[in-house]
Structure 1
Amino acid sequence: MKNFGLLIVILLLAGTMLSSTLVIKGSNTVYPVAQLWAEGFKAMNPDVEISIEGAGSSTGIKALFNGQTDIANSSRWIKASEIEQMNREGKYFIPYVVAYDGIAIIVNKSLGISNITIQQLFDIYSGKITSWNQIDSSLPKARIVPLSRDNASGTFEYFVEHVMKGEKFAPQVQQLASTRAEVEQVMQNQYAIGYIGMGYIT
């Protein structure tokens, strides 16, 4: 796959730590690194059972509010509405910036495109551009298949804010529940385009 990048911030939001079990939920972007952290933590604390789930940043933060996780992985900043909810509920989650990541724009390696602009991405995802030859006349006259994470994803929210400037996706944009699903779709479809955390490129 070929890729192009945007910058995102990775957060850990910590709630109450349990002594015998540790539950971690949230961002797909953080998931591969969280697995390594969990292995290291388990080696130092063999009696602690660790559960990790990557279902999206918002899912992790919601689980933290509901008391269903100890740590929420997030690939976006805490929203003002979430801070307000903390104040209402008398809760305080401690955010830790643990890494900076990039959003990679990916296409099938057989497509033959080596770069793309933010404006072209906006035009694809808003439906203004629907065929690859509208990007470059040397590209195939084939329908673009735009892929996206679902709205539980912090990467989705970052893309909407910084690429779409708050505009809605076109109806033809396919929203997928995981980064892995997006990668697999791009690998299988010559005319697909997607965006993922940099850690998933290879």
Structure 2
Amino acid sequence: MIKRVLGCALLASLMSCGNSKPPLDNPSRGSIIVAADESFQPLVTQLTSAYSGIYPDAHFKIVFKPEQEAINMMLQDSARIVFTTRLLKPNERAVLNQRKITGANEKIATDGVALIINKANTDSLITMAELKLIFSGQIKHWGQLNGGNQKSPITLVFDNNNSSNLEFVLNTFKVNNVKNLRIFTTHSNREVIDFVRKNPSAMGFIGVNWISDSDEPLSLELAQDLRVMGVSDKLKPTKRDDYFQPFQEDLGMQRYPLRRPVYILSRETHPGLGEGLINYITRDAGSLIIQKLGLWPRTPYDRVINITK
């Protein structure tokens, strides 16, 4: 009789263990996978590290992929949230709708695609009209640009075939075919920087957060021996002030032409760690980190200064 009771108790215990589910994560505890386009690596790394510093039991596994692959990870439930430059397309939204997942999207900042050139290349100003001619194949050499100081072919350098940087630029200039363009792709924004540093004829396209944090030694190191081009949306600029670089004030005031939004997209179905991170980023603390990185946060942090006589 005793053996039978013990056997039933053991069976009930095993059945109970089999039916139990692991506890859900919450805004201060748990582990989730975050996917992001590689152009946002400095931004995502600093934001998640700061959050984990506040909540030691919050853990983020960050996977950097080209933007489309990062979005696909979120749609396939291989990542909880994703940092992107765009919202979901209708067919992508349908994937979540089929699973009855409302999800969420939040704009967190304004970013810019920086055009970088070798320090030996003194032609650091360009117009949107000239860029359109370059991407249409009508301008092929630096000497064809207004003020161009070299005759070599222009090599356009991007981080990846499916990156947000390339997609954004091609969409901006309505480019459907790149076969006739002198385009070279690497594997990362850092490799774009290294390539441009070694090749005076190159024009690189990177996420500005890689070089815009003046307090970060890596940013200072990467920015050495490079020039960041000034871009004008005027057809015939007459002065230097008609050109703008992708840094904070010109992003916030919408003067830099190649600016773009930064979103966080989520598939979270409960108030979890993803929601906690999003709330942190869209409020004061997150805004301060975004500002420090040289981007323009969705809600700029107001500094109140009291002056006493």
CA contact (8 A) 2:135 2:175 kept: no
- Distance in 1 of aligned mates of 2:186 and 2:87: 22
Number of residues of Structure 1 aligned to a counterpart in Structure 2: 186
Query: Aligned pair in 2 of structure 1 residues 138, 63: CA closer, same or farther (>3 Å)?
Result: closer
Name the residue aligned to 2:80: 70
> How far apart are 1:111 and its partner, in Å?
0.6
- Distance in 2 of aligned mates of 1:141 and 1:152: 30
Encode CA deviations 1:38-87: one digit per residue, 9 max, x unaligned. 11221222123321122222222110111111211112232233223322
Task: Give the residue type in structure 1 aligned to 2:32.
Answer: L
- TM-score w.r.t. length of structure 1: 0.81
Query: Aligned pair in 2 of structure 1 residues 91, 177: CA closer, same or farther (>3 Å)?
Result: farther
Encode CA deviations 1:60-119: one digit per residue, 9 max, x unaligned. 211011111121111223223322332234333311111111111111121111211122
Query: Aligned pair in 2 of structure 1 residues 138, 197: CA closer, same or farther (>3 Å)?
Result: closer
In terms of fraction of residues, the more strand-rich structure is: 1
- Distance in 2 of aligned mates of 1:134 and 1:30: 33
- TM-score w.r.t. length of structure 2: 0.55
Is structure 2 residue 35 aligned with structure 1 residue 25? yes
Name the residue aligned to 1:9: none
Is structure 2 residue 183 aligned with structure 1 residue 173? yes
1:85 aligns to what SS in structure 2? Answer: helix
Name the residue aligned to 2:64: 54
Name the residue aligned to 1:11: none
Correspondences of 1:118-197 after superposition (within 5 Å): 118-136=128-146, 138-162=148-172, 164-169=173-178, 170-197=180-207
In terms of Rg, which structure is larger?
2
Correspondences of 1:34-53 after superposition (within 5 Å): 34-53=44-63
CA contact (8 A) 2:123 2:148 kept: no
- Distance in 2 of aligned mates of 1:17 and 1:107: 45
Query: Aligned pair in 2 of structure 1 residues 141, 166: CA closer, same or farther (>3 Å)?
Result: closer
CA contact (8 A) 2:71 2:82 kept: yes
2:194 aligns to what SS in structure 1? Answer: helix
Give the gaps of 5 or more residues in structure 1.
1-15
- Distance in 1 of aligned mates of 2:209 and 2:158: 16
- Distance in 1 of aligned mates of 2:164 and 2:87: 8
Task: Give the residue type in structure 1 aligned to 2:111.
Answer: D
Is structure 2 residue 114 aligned with structure 1 residue 104? yes
> How far apart are 1:137 and its partner, in Å?
6.0
Encode CA deviations 1:98-146: one digit per residue, 9 max, x unaligned. 1111111111121111211122222223332221111146511112111
RMSD of aligned alpha carbons: 2.2
In terms of fraction of residues, the more helix-rich structure is: 2
- Distance in 2 of aligned mates of 1:89 and 1:112: 54
Percent identity (aligned): 23
Give the gaps of 5 or more residues in structure 2.
1-23, 212-222, 224-309
CA contact (8 A) 2:159 2:192 kept: yes
> How far apart are 1:34 and its partner, in Å?
1.3
Task: Give the residue type in structure 2 aligned to 1:124.
Answer: I
